[in-house]
């Protein structure tokens, strides 16, 4: 599965959960960034586990000082 396929499925799920268009756009951007990084470390994005996602979120918060970044991760879990 490619990244764009996964993003489309993610956006569909958020739409069904009645997230706003702006939230979907922001979360999709964050997930896309994560998958692009993960693609370099793993053969397939669907090989990832919760621990890898948490490590990325931790790294992103520390690197970019983004306190609200954790919100997108909560959507994934």
Domain boundaries, the chain: 3-76
The model carries a pTM of: 0.72
> Measured between alpha carbons, how far is 55 from 6 in angstroms, rounded to an integer?
20
State both tokens at 7: 């993003």
Q: How does pLDDT run across 10-22, given as a tens digit for each residue? A: 999 999 999 999 9
- For residue 39, the model assigns a pLDDT of 84
- For residue 67, the model assigns a pLDDT of 66
Residues of the chain whose pLDDT is less than 50?
77
Nearest to 52 by CA among 62, 61, 42, 43: 42
Q: Looking at the domain 3-76, which fold is it?
A: DNA polymerase; domain 1 (1.10.150)
> Measured between alpha carbons, how far is 32 from 3 in angstroms, rounded to an integer?
7
């Amino acid at each position: 599965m490619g990244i764009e396929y996964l993003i489309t499925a993610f956006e569909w799920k958020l739409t069904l959960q009645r997230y706003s268009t702006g939230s979907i756009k922001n979360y999709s951007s964050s997930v896309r960034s994560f998958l692009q990084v993960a693609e370099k470390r793993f053969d397939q994005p669907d090989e990832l586990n919760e621990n890898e996602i948490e490590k990325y979120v931790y790294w992103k918060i520390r690197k970019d000082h983004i306190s609200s970044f954790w919100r997108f991760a909560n959507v994934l879990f």
